[in-house]
Homo-oligomer: A and B are copies of this chain.
Amino acid sequence: MAEEDIRSEISQLGKYRLISHLMGHDEKNNPPAHVIDDAMVTDTGGQLTVTAQKLFVENVHFDLTYFPLKHLGFKCATIVFTDVLAMNALPRELSLCLAVSNRFSIEALDEFMAGVRACCHYNEVELTGLDVTSSVAGLTVGMTATGAVEPDRLVRRNGARENELICATGDFGAAYAGLLLLQREKQIFEATHNSHPDFDGYEYLLERQLKPEPRLDIIRKLRELDVVPTAMTAVSEGLATSLFHLCEPDTLGCTIYEGKIPLAQLTFDTLRQLKIVATTVALNGGEDYELLFTIRQDDYEKVKTEHEIAVIGYIGEKNGGRNLISNDNKQIELKAQGFIEQEK
């Protein structure tokens, strides 16, 4: 066929340029707001319905050699709930589709569902639908979560304005550090067929990798504080990617401070042992499933004493630079390639 004469490799474009291309936007034109949001919005007259969808593929998104199925169920639900939360909506319902090969027993699927159910339970979400189908290779999970939000509370990715403050929740890099520990054990096991992992003292890192929890508490807290962020996104591929997402639609600039990026001491120490710079992991690691949002300066007083919310910098002018001010007070440009390179 004629169209097969031209073949352009997916790898030529980064993930986000590929998505933009497939959605029919050229590189010069910004896509409409909704296309770059974490979830889609349906207006049926009352509160808005927010719908987030994710696909998880075995050996791409998870490795069952060290990932217990129960934790996997919990984590997949967390990830899709996080996308709902990133619109400032509260998750309501979850439906899922499983494609499973005959490698999986009913007991294995029971474990997975127990994790899904636990995550639904903790977050007051109703599990409303399940479909199971065959797979030729491994496990693929499709999850769709709905949520609800009052129209005046909806937050999109593209609402940030100059001089607004950039806030991050929780801490960063722990899940990536946990992954490194698990991968190291896997390599030892594969080499020696004998492994007695001793994760004593590293529980927090493993927990952040294996059982991240959706930040429902933050969305509730923001309501309590009467703060509506001007823009928000989930942090799933490192702070840098999410930061660019908040700046991108309007090509805004930003400045963040290395010293303000929240890091657990254990994350810092563990990465140091592994000879990895913690800031690099926070910026370009991934799987934190925290929230990154911008607020008006007027709202600073309301959030400044909140333990789980850190103001890490501010939005700069349009076409301004995107910089990190390092601990030794150097200005380092955050590069767009930074997040393109680390894409799968």
Contacts and interface: CB of A to CB of B under 8 A. Distances in A.
B137 A19 contact: no
A142 interface: yes
A39 B109 contact: no
A187 interface: no
Interface in A41-94: 41-49, 51, 53-55, 57-61, 92-93
B44 A129 contact: no
A303 interface: no
B61 A133 contact: yes
Contact of A131 (B51, B54, B144): B54
B19 A132 contact: yes
Contacts of A109: 10, 18, 22
Nearest to A31: B130
Interface string A159-185: 000000000000000000000000000
B53 A48 contact: no
A146 interface: yes
A278 to B, nearest CB: 27
A49 B60 contact: no
Q: Which of A21, A42, A59 has the most CB of B within 10 A?
A: A42
A132 B17 CA distance: 11
A45 B45 contact: yes
Interface in A76-123: 92-93, 95-100, 102, 104-107, 109-111, 113, 117
A191 interface: no
A255 B92 CA distance: 39
Interface stretch (A1-9, A216-224, A292-300, A321-329): A1-9
Contacts of A7: 105, 107
A85 to B, nearest CB: 16
The oligomer's copy count stands at: 2
Contacts of A97: 53-55, 142
A128 interface: yes
A7 B107 CA distance: 6
Interface residues of A, number: 76
Given A3-B107, A44-B48, A117-B24, A53 B128 contact: no
A21 B109 CA distance: 10
A35 B96 CA distance: 11
Nearest to A15: B132
Contact of A136 (B24, B60, B129, B133): B60
Given A24-B117, A137-B136, A95 B6 contact: no
Given A48-B44, A93-B40, A95-B51, A100 B10 contact: yes
Nearest to A60: B134
B129 A39 contact: yes
Q: Which of A15, A41, A55, A133 has the most CB of B within 10 A?
A: A55
B57 A9 contact: no
A34 interface: yes
A196 interface: no
A337 interface: no
Given A106-B18, A107-B3, A110-B22, A129 B34 contact: yes
